[in-house]
Amino acid sequence: MARPRRIVLVRHGESMGNADDTVYEREPDHALALTEKGRRQAADTGRELRELFGEERVSVYVSPYRRTHETLQEFRLEPALARVREEPRLREQDWGNWQDRADVRLQKAYRDAYGHFFYRFAQGESGADVYDRVGGFLESLFRSFEAPDHPPNVLIVTHGLAMRLFCMRWFHWTVAEFESLANPGNGETRMLILGENGKYTLDRPFDRWK
């Protein structure tokens, strides 16, 4: 089994929805583009990733959302070194169709009180639902490691909640541990590094809710 030396998780750059939540009333969540600030964030992250990977090959998985694809484009990875696959299981937590701003803010308040893992948005998903599909993706990822020529790097371009749930599933965190952690900022990374003992460790922790 050719396990990668690094598994890098990246949250997309700032999107139109991050900058103005009224846009969800007019545009589908999956179709929201990056802002100019988001493109700069992605470009900055891309420079760091190109330096990190050097001339090594990279297996890339990207959420099907527009903002994650645009983030990946800004990375400017060498096409000959990057094998890119769109992965729907890495998508954002589904809210269900267009969103009413006042209703969303109310539901988020309910979620904060009820718990981010178990609260289910009306017509949408709970954090537990996202956990399940991220777990399904991990099973596919593990099977890919069986290829003897698997690249030494994996890059996953996704969303903040999915990043936390990926690590929860990988490191067997409890629900309470997950609930105590905050999403990374736009364009931020977390990296799982393979140690000499054959186990992966996180390069730096997630911030905790204040």
Q: Which residues form the catalytic set?
A: 12, 92
CA neighbor of 110 nearest in space, from 174, 185, 102: 102
Tell me how far CA of residue 162 lies from CA of 57, 100, 179, 194, 203, in angstroms.
24, 23, 13, 21, 17
The rounded radius of gyration (Å) of the Cα atoms in the chain is 17
CA pair distance 158, 139, nearest whole angstrom:
17
Tell me how far CA of residue 27 lies from CA of 67, 98, 99, 107, 187, in angstroms.
13, 7, 9, 19, 22
CA pair distance 184, 72, nearest whole angstrom:
17
